[in-house]
Every structure is written in structure tokens, then in C-alpha cells.
């Protein structure tokens, strides 16, 4: 089922018209900023006939702004697969009168599916935000644990009532791995333009805080500091750019387990004066407003939420040809696409944009128009609501 297909009879699918449908979103606690930002946009725009709670399995600063405080719940798990966690989750769902549990990662899938096996009256929806290989690399530092998590996730997939893939490429991957075409819907993330607003004072404060002079070209990468984001490629390309355009500054937005390793890479490449680490930032819009170019260097990417955020704030995207990127970006019109792992091609694309400000401005304008037209949060809401109601109808 694809977004835009006619949904007949959904208005009368509520189990109790006097009570809104209650959806509890479940997060493992290590999900990246793109996932939490996307959930926040969705939750804020769902109609009043659907209420949402958020449950996390570890403390998450990024979760605090997704839902009101009285709708945010923490269940602390002792270890992976802790059966007590499932019992606590079951009690919480009963108390909140949850109709649908909506999981968003391999970690949350595990507990959601264990509960679904106990409770056939609870519907389970899973959004797939990334390929399994990429997600397990981010979920566990142990290769063996990662493989085990991937196997368990695959083996238990039949307990999910419906999958939402954030891109056509992920939908295709799910179907290739055995999920029925009628069990998965492709629904791209939608932008909440309000999240991208920043005042002049906020922009000026960000410029001062991170020492970003207005006369220097600014190139950024946004995302958790993990293997899959391939910051090494970004930094190797940066070294080549600085050799040819020494005024250029590079901004790494985010935090994660590779922070110290990347600092060492910066030092080994002699880029100390050219790279800024911002750490985790709750409100990234002021920094996005400052950037000229947004880079995605990932080995793999389910969707690339940071890229469309950058495009909406007049950043020109330079991305690797992976996942959904060729469908999101029109090469040479709304951004640049380079081969995966090719630092020379990436550096060349960045230098071309730095040296041609008029071309960069025209490309930025085209990118903004395109992304605002194609990635509407309203469209995401319509598709997601239809999935929820269809799951309830089938129960």
C-alpha cells in the first residue's frame, strides 16, 4: 500500500467513537535526532481523534520536547531482553489504554514484539527508519551482539501488524526480505517548518558560540557520531577542500560514541583550525540557517531527515549516492550527488559550489522550493492515520 491510495471507510474504524485512538510510541533510547524530530512533527500534527504517548527505555534528553511531560514515560531496562521490561510495558499500556504500540528501532521492536506475543488485543506498528545492517552497527558496539539483534528482529517480524518504511528503497528492502507488499506502506517523513524557524538573535548567538565568521564558507554535517554517518569521509574531503580554499570552515553537529576518535582524525589531518564540533544541540535551526552547504557522507541512510531540513533552510546538499538520496535530490539542480566513499568527488563538488556563489544560491532556492512541496508533514499525517485505522479494522 502506498501513500495516496484511496482509503475507504476509515472514518468509522474507531473502536470507541467516544474515546480517541491512543498510540504509544516506543523508543529504545539511543535513536538519532532525525527519528525524534520526525516523531515530534508527526505527533504535533495528528488530528484530535488520535492521542499519543512516548515511552523510552532509557533517559533521552531529545524526547522531552516530543510530547507534553504527562505523556512521557520512562521504563528502565536492566539488560537487553529483560523480561521485567515487558511486564512494566504491559502494565503501562493497560493503564494508558493503549490501542497501538508504535516502535521505531531494533531495540524497541524487541520489547514491542514480546508484548505483542502476550497481548493479541494490542496492535503493533513498526516504522523502519534505516536498513537493518546500518541500524545494528549503531545499536551495538559488539559485532556478535549486532548480528544477534538483527537475527532476532528478522525472526520476530511476523508479530508486527504493519510496517511503515520512510522511503521507497526501505520498502523494497523489506519486501525482498519476505514482508508481504500489503504489510508495508512507504510514508516519507514530513517537515514541520515551524521547527526550522530561528530569530536573528538566535542565529547571531550560534555564530558567536561556535566562532563562525560570516565571511567564511560554512559546510556542515548533521547526525549522531557513529560509523554509519561516515564522518571520516567528510573529514578527508575537508582536508582536500582546505588545501584549495583555506578559508572554509566545517561544522560537525551532533554527539555520539565516535566523538574522541573523530577529534583524533581532525588532529591527524591538520584540520584543528577548520573544524567545529558543536555536540548535541536541541534546537539546530540557527546553525542550519548559517550553513552554506550540507553534507551527507553516510554508508547507508534510510531517508536523510537532516538533508531535507538543510534544503528547507537554503543549504545546498552534497550527498553520497545511497538509499533514497537519488530520489530526493536532482543532481546539479537541487544539490550534488557523488559516489559513496569517494573523497575526491566530494571535495570537487564542494569546491565547485564554494567557487560559484551564484550557482550555489540558485541551487539552494531550487532545493528549498522542491523539498517544501514534496515533503509535507500533512501528507505524512494522512498516510500514518490511515495505517493506524486499517490496523484497528483488521484486529
What's the domain range around 294? 193-374
Domain check: are 199 and 177 in the same one?
no
- Give me the CATH number covering residue 46: 3.40.50.2000
Domain check: are 234 and 341 in the same one?
yes
Closest CA to 193 of 300, 308, 323: 308
Closest CA to 106 of 76, 151, 69: 151
129 in a domain, yes or no? yes
**CA-to-CA distance for 222 and 309, rounded, in angstroms?**
10
Domain check: are 244 and 360 in the same one?
yes
- pTM: predicted TM-score of the whole model, two decimal places: 0.84
**CA-to-CA distance for 43 and 66, rounded, in angstroms?**
7
Ranges under pLDDT 50 in the chain = 1-13, 15
- The sheet carrying 218-222 orders its strands as 275-279, 249-253, 218-222, 293-296, 316-320, 336-338
Domain check: are 122 and 152 in the same one?
yes
C-alpha cell at 242: 582546505
The per-residue pLDDT for 45 is 94
Domain check: are 231 and 304 in the same one?
yes
14 in a domain, yes or no? no
Domain check: are 355 and 259 in the same one?
yes
Domain check: are 137 and 108 in the same one?
yes
9 in a domain, yes or no? no
**CA-to-CA distance for 241 and 351, rounded, in angstroms?**
6
**CA-to-CA distance for 193 and 29, rounded, in angstroms?**
25
Is residue 329 within 8 A of residue 296, CB to CB? The reply is: no
10 in a domain, yes or no? no
The per-residue pLDDT for 9 is 40
Number of domains forming the structure of the chain: 2
Domain check: are 291 and 386 in the same one?
no
The per-residue pLDDT for 313 is 97
**CA-to-CA distance for 69 and 53, rounded, in angstroms?**
10
- In angstroms, how far apart are the furthest CA atoms of the chain? 66
15 in a domain, yes or no? no
- pLDDT tens digit sequence for 291-313: 999 999 999 888 999 999 999 99
104 in a domain, yes or no? yes
111 in a domain, yes or no? yes
Domain check: are 140 and 242 in the same one?
no
Domain check: are 272 and 172 in the same one?
no
**CA-to-CA distance for 19 and 9, rounded, in angstroms?**
18
221 in a domain, yes or no? yes
**CA-to-CA distance for 393 and 15, rounded, in angstroms?**
8
Domain check: are 108 and 214 in the same one?
no
The per-residue pLDDT for 137 is 60
The per-residue pLDDT for 140 is 52
- Decide: helix, strand or coil at residue 217: coil
- pLDDT tens digit sequence for 84-103: 999 999 999 999 999 999 99
**CA-to-CA distance for 232 and 307, rounded, in angstroms?**
18
Amino acid at each position: 500500500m502506498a501513500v495516496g491510495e484511496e482509503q475507504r471507510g476509515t472514518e468509522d474504524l474507531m473502536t470507541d467513537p467516544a474515546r480517541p485512538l491512543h498510540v504509544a510510541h516506543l523508543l529504545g533510547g539511543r535513536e538519532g535526532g532525525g527519528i525524534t524530530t520526525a516523531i515530534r512533527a508527526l505527533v504535533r500534527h495528528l488530528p484530535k481523534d488520535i492521542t499519543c504517548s512516548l515511552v523510552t527505555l532509557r533517559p533521552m534528553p531529545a524526547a522531552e520536547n516530543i510530547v507534553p511531560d504527562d505523556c512521557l514515560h520512562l521504563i528502565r531496562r536492566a539488560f537487553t531482553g529483560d523480561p521485567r521490561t515487558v511486564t512494566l510495558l504491559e502494565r503501562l499500556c493497560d493503564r494508558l489504554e493503549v490501542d497501538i504500540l508504535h516502535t521505531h528501532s531494533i531495540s524497541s521492536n524487541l520489547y514491542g514484539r514480546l508484548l505483542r506475543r502476550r497481548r493479541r488485543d494490542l496492535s503493533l506498528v513498526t516504522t523502519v527508519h534505516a536498513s537493518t545492517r546500518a541500524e545494528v552497527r549503531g545499536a551495538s558496539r559488539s559485532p556478535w551482539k549486532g548480528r544477534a539483534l538483527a537475527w532476532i528482529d528478522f525472526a520476530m517480524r511476523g508479530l508486527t501488524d504493519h510496517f511503515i518504511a520512510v522511503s521507497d528503497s526501505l520498502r523494497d528492502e523489506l519486501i525482498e526480505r519476505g514482508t508481504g507488499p500489503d504489510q508495508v506502506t512507504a510514508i516519507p517523513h514530513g517537515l514541520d517548518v515551524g521547527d526550522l524557524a530561528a530569530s536573528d538573535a538566535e542565529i547571531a548567538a550560534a555564530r558567536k558560540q561556535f566562532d563562525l565568521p560570516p565571511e567564511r564558507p560554512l559546510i556542515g554535517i548533521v547526525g549522531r557520531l557513529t560509523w554509519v554517518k561516515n564522518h571520516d569521509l567528510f573529514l578527508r574531503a575537508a582536508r582536500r577542500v582546505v588545501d584549495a580554499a583555506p578559508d572554509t570552515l566545517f561544522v560537525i553537529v551532533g554527539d555520539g560514541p565516535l566523538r574522541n576518535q573523530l577529534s583524533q582524525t581532525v588532529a591527524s589531518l591538520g584540520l584543528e583550525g577548520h573544524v567545529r564540533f558543536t555536540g548535541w544541540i536541541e534546537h539546530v535551526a540557527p546553525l542550519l540557517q548559517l550553513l552554506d552547504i550540507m553534507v551527507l557522507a553516510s554508508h547507508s541512510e534510510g531517508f536523510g531527515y537532516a538533508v531535507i531540513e538543510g534544503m528547507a533552510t537554503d543549504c545546498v546538499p552534497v550527498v553520497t549516492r545511497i538509499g533514497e538520496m537519488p530520489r530526493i535530490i536532482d543532481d546539479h539542480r537541487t544539490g550534488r550527488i557523488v559516489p559513496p566513499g569517494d573523497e575526491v568527488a566530494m571535495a570537487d563538488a564542494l569546491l565547485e559550489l564554494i567557487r560559484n556563489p551564484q550557482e550555489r544560491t540558485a541551487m539552494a532556492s531550487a532545493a528549498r522550493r522542491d523539498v517544501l512541496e514534496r515533503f509535507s508533514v500533512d501528507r505524512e499525517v494522512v498516510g500514518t492515520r490511515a495505517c493506524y485505522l486499517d490496523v484497528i479494522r483488521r484486529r
